[in-house]
Structure 1
Amino acid sequence: MSPLRQSPLPQNPLPLNLRDLELLHHYTTSTCLTLSSDPSLKALWRINVPQIGFRADYVMHTILSISALHLAHYLPEKREYYAAQGKAHHQSGLRMATSLLANVTNDNCDSIYIFSTMTLFITLATSRTSEDFLLLRNETNGGWLELLKGTYFIIRNYEHSLINSSLSAMFVAGRKRENLREEASLEYPADTDDLQELRYHISDSQLDPHTYSLCTNAIEELRMSLALAMKRNNASLEPGDVVFVWLYKVNNGFLELVSDHCQEAIVIFAYFCALLKMMDTRWWMQGSGINLLNQVWDLLDEQHRLWIRWPIEEIGWVPDPDRAAAKIDPSLISNTIQVPQGPQAQPMDKMYQEHSPHSSVFDHSPQPNNYMSPPGPST
């Protein structure tokens, strides 16, 4: 007799969570296909990432969150319903993952890494509704600066484990894109690019040497990303080609300058908004470039608003003439800003630093050559 026939039937049928099943089904049949145009990476997002989610609840919550946001984007009549699910799943995953960030190991580095990566997607997807995104840390975005630093830390200290994990295809693709970016930059020399005026303004500013170095490095990394964007049409661009890689490369103190509302750093971030606008064909980035440029405008004084004519014209954005310029506290003028280091850094970074068996997240030694930030959604 079949074991199924011998087992007594339960008095009440087992409950099904149809909402989560719907989100998982949508992810595996639709959302995952928008995360990359590379066939091998499409398979990774469809198969490998859910497998990680089945052993790490916080990853599964993030999968369900991005699926819900995808549905909210394309079903406006149900936008509030799916957006609420996306927020709830993301917050649940964030609470669970936060407790593990102080104890990253070779066994869980892949799950924490993919969680951080997908959270960056979610953060940019929700930036359209955030009016304080450039604070970089708030209740809406969950502190994406800290997450970016966490991703950087994991790659720096667990690169070997990641390359040999089920996520290895991401890093193989990353090597190829890094080479393409460097090749494109050779065809886009600094003396003929669209950043010449920006360089002039920065060099003419009375910045302290450390701030000046951070800003000029951010401009150079921006040049390389723009070079690749100019060489390839928007349809073939991966977000990792130009967006994530820039955020990763300037993750050495520059983003703290933006967070502290250093005027020169915010101007450079305005140029980055032009890169975001190039990614507008991706559902999760539509409108983010314009929204962030609007926030940049509000944070700049009248003098520095004149410095961002190129990104304004490139994006095609029209500023509101009635919006008052920011009134800058003299204590925040950029040449007096001290970038937080060591014990003054953010709590999540401190947690990584204290518990890491490897180098500190604040160690600014060269980054892994084979890393290029993972591909983001492509449609």
Structure 2
Amino acid sequence: MDAPDKVLHTARRSHRKTRTGCRTCKRRKIKCDEGRPSCWNCIKHSVSCDFLPPAASPAGSSNVGTPPGHHVAGFIGRNGIWSSPTNTFSSSFAMANNGALPELNMNDLELLHHWSLSTSLSMTSDPVLRTLWRTKIPQMAFEFPFLMRGILTVAALHLAYLHPERRDFYVSNSLQHHDIALSGATEVLPNVSNENCMPLHIFSILTCIHSLGRPRKPEDFLVVGEQGIAKWFVLFKGVVLIIERFSETMSTGPLAAFFHSRVRRQRQRQSCIETSTMDHLSSLRASILSAPLPPDTAQMYLDNMIELQNSFSFVYSCPSHSHELGDIFIWLFRCSDGYLVALQEGTQEALAIFAYACVLFWKMEKFWWMEGWSGLIMNNIWNWLDDAHKSWIEWPISEIGWSPPEERGMDPVKLEQQHIMG
């Protein structure tokens, strides 16, 4: 058996004899292994080692080192080399000065921040869908730049609405993002697939909101002709086409809650239609039946009024805080081509029907991008109707609280311009 002193002697850890260790180890009176770029003792105790090279500093600034022995946060990288926030920051700073890192776009960050805090919450009254607008949709937008710019477009419009003193600045930002987003989405449209159908669908919704919330021009409210309202129908019908073609994908994808919410709302709508006893269009229906119209033309108007009455039944049965934009636009989606042609041609009957639809627009003015639309469209319709047909729209005028400009002693054209600029 070995002697105790021999066991102790053989168990002692060997160390390298040196007098050239770092000053930190010398001051602590411990052996230094002289490891590079830092000895092991300094790494273990998270202190600065003399062997570390001085951190690079930007030109014109003083290079103030950490006093020996002072604690600094550090870590060992994947390659085993010791690093510190100071060194990492210095390297990043040098890269930025050399143009390797792009500057942050603070305007875009402001828009994305506002979207997360405010705009996303204004998109719907449904708590589940609000969460999707705030979290999942921006997450999806990182893969589809046109969708991200669509988000920034609407966020900028919302800021313009909230801050009139900076309206021009935010509107300019919104239009820039919208133009680029539209160009990107247009490139994708010929190749709609299961992978991009949902981003395109969400983008089409954002585009509709942009069309409603952007600065308004007189031609936006034209009910007759190929501008203004006629463009709405083309835009909104595009939303539906994507849904119908890729319904299976949308019902199982990451934003499936959108699809299921729409299905659930359609069931509620049908239930309200079946139990409703109100007929808001009875007076208008009687007027059309008594008008000297060809039978097929009169029937076309009556058929389009059925879906409009269904929308009335649903909207007037639901609490106002639960109204959604789709509750009114479902009628626009389902309008026949014959009615759209009649509206563009400015027939008195088609205009009167659309005046009733203004009541639905008025019901949706809780959304900031819908404010003022009902009165402005009604004003445009009023200017197109002859005296005989103006009596047809007494109920919708009364319901939205609108009165003809001449009754207020105002010029109709100047009144419309005043609303648009204001």
TM-score band by shorter chain is: 0.7 to 0.9
**What's the offset of the Cα at 1:136?**
7.7
In structure 2, the partner of 1:179 is 267
Task: Tell whether the 8 Å contact from 1:219 to 1:268 is kept in structure 2 after alignment.
Answer: yes
TM value normalised by structure 2: 0.69
Secondary structure of 1:43's partner? helix
1:220-246 CA distances to partner (integer Å, 9 max, x unpaired)? 112111112222231222222x21222
**What's the offset of the Cα at 1:249?**
2.4
Distance 1:127 1:163, change over 3 A: farther
Which of residues 382, 387, 390 is equivalent to 1:305?
A: 390
Matched, 1:74 2:159: no
Matched, 1:36 2:124: yes
Secondary structure of 1:105's partner? coil
**What's the offset of the Cα at 1:142?**
10
**What's the offset of the Cα at 1:250?**
2.0
State the AA in 2 paired with 1:74: L
Q: Distance in 2 between matches of 1:90 and 1:251?
A: 30
Task: Tell whether the 8 Å contact from 1:131 to 1:295 is kept in structure 2 after alignment.
Answer: no
1:30-65 CA distances to partner (integer Å, 9 max, x unpaired)? 100111121110111112221232222221121111
TM value normalised by structure 1: 0.77
In structure 2, the partner of 1:353 is none
Counterpart mapping for 1:159-308 below 5 A? 159-189=247-277, 192-208=278-294, 211-240=297-326, 242-250=327-335, 252-308=337-393
Structure number with greater Rg is 2
Which of residues 125, 134, 137 is equivalent to 1:49?
A: 137
Secondary structure of 2:316's partner? helix
State the AA in 2 paired with 1:201: S
Q: Distance in 2 between matches of 1:251 and 1:114?
A: 25
Matched, 1:144 2:232: yes
Extract unaligned runs of 5+ from structure 1: 326-379
State the AA in 1 paired with 2:102: L
Q: Distance in 1 between matches of 2:289 and 2:315?
A: 25
**What's the offset of the Cα at 1:211?**
4.1
Extract unaligned runs of 5+ from structure 2: 1-80, 414-422
State the AA in 1 paired with 2:186: T
Distance 1:30 1:257, change over 3 A: same
Q: Distance in 1 between matches of 2:396 and 2:279?
A: 13
Secondary structure of 1:121's partner? helix
1:143-167 CA distances to partner (integer Å, 9 max, x unpaired)? 3322222222212221112222222
Q: Distance in 1 between matches of 2:103 and 2:229?
A: 33
**What's the offset of the Cα at 1:268?**
0.9
Distance 1:44 1:324, change over 3 A: closer
In structure 2, the partner of 1:368 is none
Task: Tell whether the 8 Å contact from 2:343 to 2:351 is kept in structure 1 after alignment.
Answer: yes
Distance 1:213 1:103, change over 3 A: farther
Task: Tell whether the 8 Å contact from 1:125 to 1:288 is kept in structure 2 after alignment.
Answer: no
**What's the offset of the Cα at 1:130?**
4.3
State the AA in 2 paired with 1:45: W
Q: Distance in 2 between matches of 1:251 and 1:151?
A: 16
In structure 1, the partner of 2:190 is 102
Which of residues 311, 317, 325 is equivalent to 2:402?
A: 317
Give the stretch that moved more between structures: 200-209 or 25-34: 200-209
1:310-344 CA distances to partner (integer Å, 9 max, x unpaired)? 1111011111237689xxxxxxxxxxxxxxxxxxx
Q: Distance in 2 between matches of 1:126 and 1:304?
A: 32
Secondary structure of 2:280's partner? coil
**What's the offset of the Cα at 1:197?**
1.0
In structure 1, the partner of 2:213 is 125
1:249-291 CA distances to partner (integer Å, 9 max, x unpaired)? 2265433432332321121111111111112222111111111
Q: Distance in 2 between matches of 1:123 and 1:174?
A: 22
Secondary structure of 2:369's partner? coil
**What's the offset of the Cα at 1:202?**
2.0
1:52-96 CA distances to partner (integer Å, 9 max, x unpaired)? 322222211211111111111111111122122222222222222
In structure 1, the partner of 2:180 is 92
Task: Tell whether the 8 Å contact from 1:218 to 1:254 is kept in structure 2 after alignment.
Answer: yes
Give the paired residue count.
Answer: 321
Task: Tell whether the 8 Å contact from 1:137 to 1:145 is kept in structure 2 after alignment.
Answer: no
Secondary structure of 2:263's partner? helix
